[in-house]
Amino acid sequence: MEIERKFLTKEIPFAITAYPCLQIVQAYLSFSPTIRIRQSNEDYILTVKGKGHLAREEFELPLRKEDYERLFLKTEGTPVRKKRYLVPLEGGLTAEVDLYEGELTGLMTTEVEFPSLEAAESFVAPAWFGKDVSENKAYKNTSLSLYGMPKEE
């Protein structure tokens, strides 16, 4: 089960490059159901996601680079490219700050994954996180892949 909240971040009040960074490319084999392949640095992953916003089923399998490259040829939409910075938070949580690249340059979001729905619902985000867009489909990576940059909020 994946339980996460997503925020539309406008600016970060510290040097983000001081934190670990993942270079991510993800593309979609299917949008319904959501079947995604992702390269995260040197790791390759196939993910199947269920329906939902705040909480949904998620299943991941590692891929070999060769399998990822073959599957990539069968993807739909535009691949989503981003740098993900991992910023530790209180309570053992991590803020995943995504700086999008390519057609989505200028978009920045922050996601936090939670161990329970209660933890997600009671979480008080720092002001710099920005507006909570967890329920806004336009900011889901599937929508970004299909439709590009969302209209300004």
- Residues that are catalytic: 28
**Rounded Cα–Cα distance for residues 75 and 36 (Å):** 9
* Residue-wise burial string across 67-92, b where 16 or more C-beta atoms lie within 10 A, e elsewhere: ebeebeeebebbbbbbbbbebeeeee
Q: Both tokens of residue 73?
A: 């040829």
Residue 9, SS3 per DSSP: coil
Two tokens at 51?
A: 């329906």
Give the list of residues 6+ apart from residue 15 with CB closer than 8 angstroms, or none.
none
Give SS3 for 117: helix
